[in-house]
Every structure is written in C-alpha cells, then in structure tokens.
A and B are shown apart, each in its own frame.
Chain A
Amino acid sequence: MSNYSQLVASAKANRRKRVFSDEFLLFEQLNRERNDLSLWASELDVVNKHITIDQDTIDGAIESYQELAEHLVEKLHWSPDDIKVFPQGSSSTQTLINTPGRDNFDIDAVCQVDISRVDANDPMAFYQKIGDALDKYDPDAKRRCWTINFSGRKYYIEFTPSVPLSTVPRTVVESFKLQASAKDYEDTALAVVDTPSESWKTSNPEGFTNWVSAQTEKSLLRLSFSDSRNYSLNSSISPVPEQSISLSDTLRVAIRLFKRHRDMAVRRGFIVKEAKPISVIIVTLLTQCYEGLSDLGATYDEPIFLLMELAELLPGMIEIRDGEYWVANPTVEGENFAEKWNDDHGQRKQSFDNWCSLLVIDLQRIMKEQDESAIRKRMREVFGYSAASTPPPRGLAPQKPTIVPQPPAKTGLA
C-alpha cells in the first residue's frame, strides 16, 4: 500500500459534492441496461487518437534526435560506453501530445556522461562542453538544457547534460548540497547543471518514467479495451518510444487528455499561459492519484468515470508542508515541483484550481449529453478536435494537366 492511498482517501473526503443530475444517473442506468457503454469511450478514443502526434512527425523527430545523439557521441570523443542519450519527460512516458494550433512540441532528452570523464567541480564547464558539441545546430542555452530548433518542423529538442549521481564524489555532493534520490530510484538518479546557480542539482528522469510506467500496469477498468502496444528500451541511444496509446492504458490516456484539456483551457481563454499547470505537476498528481485509487481497490466501468474521479480528486492531492504547497517528486527527496506556487501571490495555485474546476464541469457536461452528436459536439469544444480521416483517392480531375506551372502565391482570405 503506497502513501498515496491516504492522500486519495483524504482527497475523497474533501472533494466537492458531486452534482450529477438525475437525468445523468438515469442515462447511466439506461446505458448499462443496453450494454451500450461505448458512446463516451469511443469519442474519448477519437480524441486520444486525434492528439497523438502523427507518425511522420514522430519519425522526423526520432531521426533528428538520433542524429543529435550520434553527433554528440562522435563530437565529444568519449567512449560510447561512457555516454548515454535517452528520452525523458512526456516522450519517454508516452504522454507526448499534439499541441493545439501551430505551437511546437518538445522532445526532452538526457545526455548522461560518466563522471570520470568530467570535472565534477565545474558543472558549467561540463554544460558548456555539451553546448559546444552541439554548436552546428545553433542551440539556445536554457536553465538546465540546450534547446535545438528545427526550421519548418513541428518539434524542438531539449538536451539536458547530466552525470550519474552515484558517481559524483561525496565532497562535491556536499559542496553543492545535492538532494538525495528516493531509495527506490537510486540507480537512475542524475546530477544536472542548474545554470542560474552554476551548480549541480539532483534529477531522476528515468526513475520518474519508471515510476509512471509501473503505475500504468495497474488497471482500474472492469472491462478491457484493445491492448496497448509495447516498446522496448535498449543500447546507449534509447529510441523515442512510440506515442500511440490504447484507451485501455488509462493512466497514460488520462495524462494525455488532461494535458490536452489544459492546453485547450488556455486556447479558450480560461487560464493564462504563464500560470497554467505545468505538465510534470499534472503527471505527478495523476500518477499518485491513480496509484492511490489502485491501492484502495477502486474500479470503474467506463474510462470517463475514472477521468471524472481523477479530475475531482486532483485538487486534494496537493500537499501542504510547513504552510507551503507541495507536489513532491517521488524520485528525488525534497524536490517540490510546485515550488513556484509559493512565490507568485497564489496565481499558479488559483490557475490550477480554476483548471481543475473547469475540467470537472466540462466532463460533467459531456456525461450529461444523451446522444452521439451532442457528446461529440461537447468533446470537440472541450478537447478541440474533430474527426479526421484519410480521404479516398478518387474524385481527382481525370485529365492530367499538360503543363504544371509554379503555383500562384496564396492570397489567403480576402
């Protein structure tokens, strides 16, 4: 039994009273009697597919990522055994989603180097060395990583230089006051360079991915949907995992849909970009909540019921420690993902609460709808999608033009 079950029990006790209408309960009952539980599920599946980044884009991103990784291995002149490049963040947890509109998505990667190859006392020199090696890609220096943009592509790659925490000498650990890794995730703990403070900071992206992945194995659905696809990690350059996720992979689906809802809440004007809940907080809280529900033996008939439960419980998953908001990183002792919430006059916390409230209201509205087109319309409004398909290859002008001129300049709307 994890600690999160207590947090979930507390969140359940404190959540707002459900406001399902009688009509909804009747509809739920009717659906059960008809054994027709697929209306919401099928629409959620459409949304889930819609927000999946298309394979061409993923292939392009993987190619760029591989190229960069190989370039780093070659350019740094370190032994391939000493350098390891692997994805982190949403690309490794398979929760990468298509951003609405024209915004680019990011692929986070870690470049991990054996400590014996670097001077542990000079993190900035190590950080700069990785940046210099990426020079031909014109990288932008960020707080802990190097960002590489690819002109005309819908993605960018963020490379985080790191060293294994276990290999950092004790004197260095103490001099930089490095936080300890959580015991279950010691093997994967890293030290990354925090450029504003010019010091090492503890990180554990692989451990975090493993933690999320472990929870996804647990099923909270009574009925099973089609199986999710598996992927494997291997070698010193780990591939970006496939991003297509089945509806039965309920935790990942919940993460993806909630992230999408958050993005759409910004698009719809309900929250502002600057204060929107960051992905790592959504992922952490959802995974904790999911783990806690699993420990408590909760099960659900429909994915949307589980989504509703998670949405309602999320605000209660925020911890208060010594009067401060806390979203603890389960893989690094003492790291608080919500650190900024305590220093912004409550703006981010308010935004998080507003988003959770909107999410619950939106899900309620979807669940109250009683016919397919109404459900679809609500889903579209909330998640910003519409059904798309590959057009059949017919209907083209039968006579092939004999001359193909340069296409005229697109004038757009009059």
Chain B
Amino acid sequence: MSSNLEEFLVTHGSLGEQLPTSLSGERLFPIQLYDFPEERGFNHAWLVLDPKFPKGKAHIRLSKDAILRLPHVDSGGDLCITEDPGPRSKISAEDRINLLLNSFYLDYLGPWVSGKLDADFEVESLNYWYIHVAQHSNEKCAINRIYITTDRSNSSKTYTGSLLQPHRILLAGTNKDLANRFIELKSLGMPKSQVVNVAVAEIPIDCEFTPHTWPSSQSSLLNLIQYRLSLTQLKEFSTPKKRGRQVNQVVILRSPKCNYGFHLSGGSPIVVHRGGSSRAFKMAKMYPLTVERIDPSWTYGRDQISEITDRQKLHIVVFGAGALGSPVISQLAKAGIGRISVVDSDYLSPANIGRHELGARQIGRSKAGEIAHKVGEHNPSVKLFPYIQDAESWLNQHSLSKVDAVVDLTGEPDVREHIEQARKENLCPLIIGWMEPYVAAAHACLLPSDRFWFKSNVDQLGNLEAIDWPEDVIRHEPGCSTQFQSYTSAAAAHAVALVTEGVICLIDNKVSTPVIRSWVRGRKFLDAHYKGLHYRSWAEGSSKFDGVSMERSLHG
C-alpha cells in the first residue's frame, strides 16, 4: 500500500485510528458517527479494507446491534447498499474510499436517520428472516427446517405434520400424497428412522413481515393466532395430546411471497440424534424456522404459471417412450402434469442410449418401466404408470374415458388407427408427434377432443411432412429397421420442445381448432446430411434460416 494512501487513512477526518489487524487480514477503521436519536443509534461503523486493498475492495461494516435493526445489513454486519467502485474502476484508492464514505453518509445514514429507509425492510423480507432464523438455530432445536407440500390458501387451517427423524425435518401441508412421495424417495435429507406427529397451525397473512412486525415473542404469536383461528381450530391446535402427552406445536404464517415458521415452547421432549448418541430436548423457548415450499405451483411454476394447479388434476397417456417420448415424458412431468401413463413394449438396447433419457444402467430393461421410475424419482408431484405392452393391447384393456389427453409418439400408422377408434368411443384430445429423418423437420399435430386424425379414411402424416424424401432414405425408425438415419440428441431436443409445448397448449385449452406445429431445418443443415433434398412448397421459407418454427391449420 502506498505511503500516500497510508497518510490519507491516518489523516482522514471521518476515520479513527485503525484497529489491530484481524486474523483475516482485514483492516478496520472506525467511522465517525452522528449523535443519533436513541431509536436510530448503533454502536460502531467501520471502514473495512480487504487485505489486498487497493487491489481488493473496501466496504462498510456496522456493529452487531445494527443487524435486523437497520436495513441492508447482512448477517455479519456488512452493509450491502453502499459499494466501493473497485480496482477496475480506474479511480484512485483515496477517491474510492471517499466515494464509499460519502455514499454511506448521504445515501444510507442520512436517509436511515430521517426514516426514509424504514420501508426497505420489505424489499428483501426473506433475507432478514433467514438472518433471524440463523441467530436462533442451534443443535438443540428439535426442528431444523420445514418443507410444506401445499400452496398458501386464503383461510387458516390446523392439521398434523410429520417430523422426520433423525434429520429434524418437518413435512407440513395437507397434501399427504406428496409428502409420502418425498418420504418414499428418501428426499430432503432423509431416510427417516422415526416419524413424530406435530400440531401445525397454518395462517395466511397479507404482508411480508419485517424485523419490526414479525411476532417477537411467544405471547405475541399466541395473541395473533387467537385472532386468526376459529374456536374449533384453536382448541384443536392448543390441546393436542397423544396418549396423554402434549404434542409439539408449530405455527406457519404465510404471506403471498414468504413463509415464516415458529416452533412453540413446550410439548413433549423430542429426541435429537447426533452422531452415535441421542438426547431428548424439551423446547423451553419459541424459535423461528425456515419454511421451504415443495408444492408443484412453486417447484414447477415459481407461482407464475397458474395452470399448474389444474394440470395436477390431469391424466395423460403417452404412447412411445423412445428418443422422442422419453424426454417428452420428463418435460411433461416438469410442466406439472399430475398423472402420466407410459405405454411401450420395447426394451432399451445399446443403440438407444445416445438419444434416450435412459442410459447404460437400464440396457435390457423395459423403456416404459424405467422411464416411469426415473421421471417419478425426480418429480414427486407426478404419478407415473408404466405399461410394458403395445398400444393396441393397452387400448383393448383400457378406456379413454378418464384420460385427459393422448400423446402418440410412436410414428406407427397402426397405432394412429387404434387411437382413432378409441377416441371415437371416448372423445379425448390427441397430440401426434414425429420427427423426419435426421430431424430435418419435426411435427406436432394438436387435435381437440372432437376432431379426428383421419380425413376420408386417409392417414395424413406423410402429406404433412416438410421434405420429399428419396427412396434410399429409410423411413421406418427405429423399431422396424436397424438401418434408420441417425440423428443427434441435440437435434431431437428441438422436436422434444415442439411436442411438449404443443401438449401443454392443448391441455391448457388454448387450442380450439386442429393445428400442426412444425420445426423445419434450413438448407445448410439438410445439405450437411443429404445433398439435393427438396422442400415441399409450404416449408421452402425455412431454407435460408438455421431452423424455423411455424403453425398451420390442420385439415384445411
């Protein structure tokens, strides 16, 4: 560090004498503070220089008493609202420090003292809650974290949650199916060795809490729940007993964007296992908890896709779990579909693994069974039903009366024929998806429930393709030939997206007339695979692009 900078620091009017250098090598200089009103005051502020300063950065740190009292202060006391322009700013070290201090005084301290930053606590409410939780979290806490299976509702409710030992995880929410799926999957840090019942009160609130508004004591929380629970709920929650023993109680307050958990004092002792030993703890004091949502509206839609709630109620049948079908099934699960039946009689071969969702571990195993297992393992909110049989036999054994959409990804004319017959008996939306050789084009035909595939008993598929394929390009893929044209998994990903988005549009009732959506690659791509191919007239516009997506009406 230059002697000029040292002199600047020593003689700076706003800085005090440097504190002894800490083990981390940071240099701390006390900053002069105002005489604050008592409510606004805090003990100290320091200019903190990184050990490598001026190559490193400088920042402001406030004393511990400022944490959760002043906004924009993180768990270590560091201020996040003011920032050193940094060594790449080409500003001198002295000016960087002055800018930082000026910003601290003018943009932070002044507005804070005059009350203008008070509302800032609301901006990152959850971060302050995490700090609060971290301050109270210790190994004696019987509950470490809460996962909740349901979205926020508009009314208060009380129910029993499951505390999973030894990991001290509380599964809350009223979607017991989903909770059980997580337990079966040994997710969330499980496996469990013991399940303890916990009484849960879940109460919706309208505003995000700040450190000044969240219940700071058990008495204030109990006061709140007396106002927000009905007498029946209050009785149910307040006096839960199991075999004469008091049950532990947790309150979850749910605002539109954040969830706040509280484990109340009292209840029966909870055994906490750690290492090889176990010890029972009875909660002497209420403590705050982190609540993390695992409901599909959050995990798959981040609360921004309202259709997910309805998609959870749907049952879709997918015929074909191959290179196109297997990733489509995975994507449909991630779109929030509630139930998927997978029908495929084939078994995974080594030649499949380059383009399939399954891999070497599943060679020789049924595609339907394995993809259902894999997708279900990754997505607890979908129930998958594998059928290791062909489409015809499945359709002979099952009706489409309770199916919300059929997805045919087999590319087989016979399957289309059988599905057509079944749909005539039970109207049901249909999506037919397929890829042309080399994935030079891919198509998804979307038919609402009352519209059929065959026109004058003619299968339309060949007429809808984008390219006139020469005879020597083998069309039967992959089941009927071992000589089909190869393509990469990446090229097929375009088709997967096209088909999946088509299915979602159709089941979300956004398609009222039959349409075909196509993805067509440009001339460059075609020439790289087979010289001299001809586009059909409707697809010619794709020639000059890398690839084009388009939608046409089906059946004229």
Contacts and interface: CB of A to CB of B under 8 A. Distances in A.
A associates with B: yes
Interface of A: 50, 100-102, 264, 266-274, 354, 357-358, 361, 373, 376, 380-381, 384, 386-392, 394-405, 407-408, 410-414
Contacts of A407: 83, 103
A357 B227 CA distance: 10
A407 B106 CA distance: 13
A401 B80 contact: no
B127 A397 contact: no
Contact of B72 (A100, A388, A397, A412): A412
A392 B36 CA distance: 9
B12 A390 contact: no
Contacts of B124: 412-413
Given A391-B110, A397-B102, A413-B74, 13 more contacts: A270-B224, A272-B204, A376-B39, A384-B212, A384-B213, A386-B212, A387-B38, A388-B118, A389-B40, A395-B33, A400-B98, A412-B127, A414-B78
Interface in B196-235: 203-207, 209-210, 212-213, 215-216, 223-224, 227-228
Contacts of A413: 72, 74, 80, 124, 127-128
B224 A268 contact: yes
B206 A405 contact: no
5 contacts: A358-B227, A384-B213, A397-B12, A408-B86, A410-B83
A97 B95 CA distance: 42
B123 A412 contact: yes
Contacts of B204: 272
A358 B212 CA distance: 17
A323 to B, nearest CB: 24
Contacts of A50: 115
Contacts of B114: 388-391
A48 B84 CA distance: 39
Interface residues of B, number: 62
Contacts of A386: 39-40, 115, 118, 212
B106 A396 contact: yes
Contacts, number: 144
A268 B213 contact: yes
B91 interface: yes
A-B interface, 3 closest residue pairs, ranked by CB to CB distance from nearest: A388-B115, A269-B205, A398-B13
B207 A101 contact: yes
Q: Is the interface of A mostly helix, strand, loop or mixed?
A: loop
B34 A401 contact: no
Contacts of B97: 397
Contacts of A376: 39
A385 B461 CA distance: 70
Nearest to B33: A395
A397 B115 contact: no
Contacts of A270: 224, 227-228
A399 B419 CA distance: 81
A387 to B, nearest CB: 4
Contacts of B80: 410-414
Nearest to B207: A267
A401 B109 contact: no
B99 A405 contact: yes
A125 to B, nearest CB: 37
A269 B109 contact: no
A119 B95 CA distance: 68
A233 to B, nearest CB: 31
B81 A269 contact: no
Contacts of B431: none
B37 A387 contact: yes
A50 B317 CA distance: 62
B102 A401 contact: yes
A395 B99 CA distance: 14
A38 B267 CA distance: 44
A102 B37 CA distance: 23
B101 A397 contact: yes
B403 to A, nearest CB: 39
Given A388-B114, A399-B98, A414 B40 contact: no
Contacts of A397: 12-14, 97-98, 101-102, 105
A190 B189 CA distance: 67
A194 to B, nearest CB: 28
A397 B110 CA distance: 14
* Residue of B106, B122, B227 most packed against chain A (CB within 10 A): B227
A403 B96 CA distance: 9
Contacts of B210: 101
A401 B224 contact: no
Contact of B122 (A101, A357, A390, A401): A101
B40 A387 contact: yes
A379 to B, nearest CB: 10
A273 B206 contact: yes
B13 to A, nearest CB: 4
A411 B123 CA distance: 12
Nearest to A271: B227
B91 A405 contact: yes
B105 to A, nearest CB: 5
B207 to A, nearest CB: 5
A402 B115 CA distance: 30
A115 to B, nearest CB: 42
Nearest to B84: A408
Contacts of B94: 399
A269 B201 CA distance: 14
Contact of B228 (A269, A391, A394): A269
Contacts of A388: 37, 40, 113-115, 118
Interface string B30-52: 00111101111000000000000
Contacts of B89: 405
Contacts of A271: 227
Contacts of B81: 410, 412
B227 A354 contact: yes
B253 interface: yes
Contact of A401 (B39, B98, B113, B128): B98
Given A272-B206, A410-B81, A401 B99 contact: yes
Contact of B213 (A267, A387, A398): A267
Given A101-B122, A396-B106, A410-B81, A401 B74 contact: no
Contacts of B227: 270-271, 354, 357-358
B85 interface: yes
A395 to B, nearest CB: 5
B253 A269 contact: yes
B123 A266 contact: no
B207 A266 contact: yes
